[in-house]
Amino acid sequence: MTKRRSVDSHQPSKEWRWRSLLWAQFVGLAISMMLCWHSFDEALPAEQSARFLVATWRILQTSLPLAVLFVAGCILRYERLACTMMTCWWYWIFVDLIVHRWTGMHVASIEAFHLLSEKMLGLLPYLHLGMATRFGIGLALLLLLTQIGRIATRRVAKRCSDAGNNLSSLGASIAWVGAIFLLAIPAWLSWPTVLAEVQAEPSRHAFSVIGWPAPKRNDVTAFLANEAISLKLTNAAIRRRTQAFRLNVATTEPKQRPDVLFIVVESLRPELIDLDVMPHVSIAAEDGLWMQRHFSGGNASSLGLFSLFNGLDAVWFYRSDVRYAPAMNRLFHQSGYECGFFGGADDWAAFQMDAFVRNEVYDTFEVSAYDGLQSDRRAIQASEQFLADHAERGPRLAVLYLYATHAPFEIDPRFDRDQPAASRNYPIPFGPADREPIWNRYRNSARTVDHLIAPLLQHPNRIVAIVGDHGESFLDDGTIGHGTRLSASQTQTPAIVVGRNVPRKEVQEFTSHADLLPTLLSLCDIQTSNPTSFDGRDVSKHIIPPRVIAIADYLREQALLISHETGSTPTFFGLQVEISLLTPHFQLLEARNRQGNLRQSSVEETVAHGQIARKYLDQSYPE
């Protein structure tokens, strides 16, 4: 009896050792297949020369955590817990692949934590059926595969642990762990080649979920410190700018001036201003002020609208004493204008836009819950009624915010011309194979908006400004949508001003949303007491003074500095800095290319980048 109890007491341990060993191999295989599938039909020609080396290194990354968990479980006799942790490693990689493909962020990152803790509630209304379906199917398949694996490994482990079976779980374990490390030897011997491949496509490697390997970067700040270049942002400078902004008033007497219509179109990219896509806007642009190299105030709506309504770079957004005092409304009111806001959405509070988009700062304020194209049609009709000619009224400014070109991109069936076009419930995240139909849907949506606003462009006594609130990425920078990267696709947008007394001019200098308010004030012949309180410039003038533009980041207290030097080097897009105007802080980070990726810089270029930062501080926060 005693011997039987001894055998019985050890049998479960032997079976669980086999189960954990087999489960580790099953999970490793599943992760490897998932990482290969992550190519989304993209070929990696650079990898062909090092396919075997990279493959062995992938196996080590995938299996090493599993091997550690397996050994720890065997030693501590917690095989069941070890198996659970292996499953968590698998699921973590699955979720990270999806999140990184969509946003460019890893789940285990400060940015992702910030997004989930502070922004998620505001983003929930934009999750549509296509997203839910995609995630639901993926999760269901993962759970099904997990259950199949559990059943299979349990049955095989039971046979391997039978009393009459001579298979050694210890020998199999040593052989498996040893094979993992032996396969990694070729990669170690050719490490520079392997590392280059890993950095070229990091999301294909399991350790990428912890942000490894980090791109190699130059220590810009240390170098500049050695050069004795001081880059400081002080409370006194910020306080002076804030005071000048809040005390800036209109100094000209109210008189009959042209009406102003400010049309803000969601997620509008500059290449859509084309005769084939937006013919009415395109024709109008050729006869007006067309800013060819224009940037939003940031990579999200809140930052873009803030910059438009204040003439400031959006790094000022988080200062409540500025955000709650929109300069556009104040200055136009002082000049005799009635102001109205008309929008096809009502989610301003979720993104802190209710500070400057609210009933209290407008004479007429009409917004409604989002209802597809009907919301935009109602907003357009309300703005037309507000701007209708009446003998008794004075000049009016109307802000029209249109939402159709925000994902999932609303389309009037009459303008569903670019084919093949995705359905409204297209999958997110999507891969390169799906980009064309989704891009076509986006173009059709812009074509619909062009038709809707065409009648608004014809009034002879009206100035019309047409801008996007920010850009939109369709895998151009490796992500989908906006708000995640300071890349060209997420920050560049068209900016056009047409109408009475507007010069016909193509502006080739870099401009930003901060330039729109000073330009509109000038075109309406409104002078202010302190025009230097704006960050923006009047771009309707013949000579436009140069300035360094700061494009704010939605997820981080960071900005990208853009200057005329950006155009001289094709691979250099801007200089990323860490900046806060709440607790004054300014620090150089690194140079970025148009995709928002790190760009390696020479010593000479680093010095030039320091000069860009110096110019920005001198122009925006002079001592």
Distance, CA of 583 to CA of 223 (rounded, Å): 24
HEC string for 521-547:
HHHCCCCECCHHHCCCCCCCCCCCCCC
The amino acid occupying position 342 is: F
CA nearest neighbour of 485 among 102, 9, 12, 16: 102
Work out the average pLDDT over 180-208: 83
Residue 508's pLDDT is what?
Answer: 93
| Whole-structure pTM value | 0.86
Residue 475's pLDDT is what?
Answer: 92
Token pair for residue 553? 């980041």
The amino acid occupying position 239 is: R
* Strands, sheet with 558-562, edge to edge from the N-terminal-most edge strand: 549-552, 558-562, 574-580, 585-592
The residue written with tokens 């059926």 in the block is: 129
Cα-Cα-Cα-Cα dihedral sign, residues 51, 55, 61, 62: positive
Q: How confident is the model at residue 56 (pLDDT cuts 50, 70, 90)?
A: confident
Q: Is 289 helix (H, G, I), strand (E, B) or coil?
A: strand
Could you tell me which residue, 515 or 227, shows the higher pLDDT? Answer: 515
Residue 222's pLDDT is what?
Answer: 54
The amino acid occupying position 289 is: L
Q: What are phi and psi of 164, to 5 degrees?
A: -85, 0
Q: How confident is the model at residue 164 (pLDDT cuts 50, 70, 90)?
A: low
* Strands, sheet with 505-512, edge to edge from the N-terminal-most edge strand: 364-367, 338-343, 396-402, 259-265, 462-468, 495-499, 289-295, 505-512
Which stretches of 203-300 are DSSP H helices?
A: 220-226, 235-247, 279-286
Residue 416's pLDDT is what?
Answer: 95
* Cβ neighbour number for residue 363 with a 10 Å cutoff: 15
Could you tell me which residue, 5 or 278, shows the higher pLDDT? Answer: 278
Residue 570's pLDDT is what?
Answer: 77
Q: Are 511 and 295 in contact (CB under 8 A)?
A: yes
User: Has residue 121 got a pLDDT over 70?
Assistant: no
Could you tell me which residue, 465 or 392, shows the higher pLDDT? Answer: 465
Work out the average pLDDT over 68-74: 92
Residue-wise pLDDT for 378-403, tens only, equals 999 999 999 998 878 899 999 999 99
User: Has residue 492 got a pLDDT over 70?
Assistant: yes
What is the rounded average pLDDT for all residues in the chain?
Answer: 87
Residue 290's pLDDT is what?
Answer: 97
User: Has residue 199 got a pLDDT over 90?
Assistant: no
b (16+ CB within 10 A) / e for 287-315: ebbbbebbbbbbbbbbbbbbbbbbbbbbb
Residue-wise pLDDT for 20-46, tens only, equals 999 999 999 999 888 876 544 344 444
Residue 615's pLDDT is what?
Answer: 93
Residue 218's pLDDT is what?
Answer: 53
Distance, CA of 302 to CA of 22 (rounded, Å): 51
Token pair for residue 372? 């597809």
* Cβ neighbour number for residue 463 with a 10 Å cutoff: 24
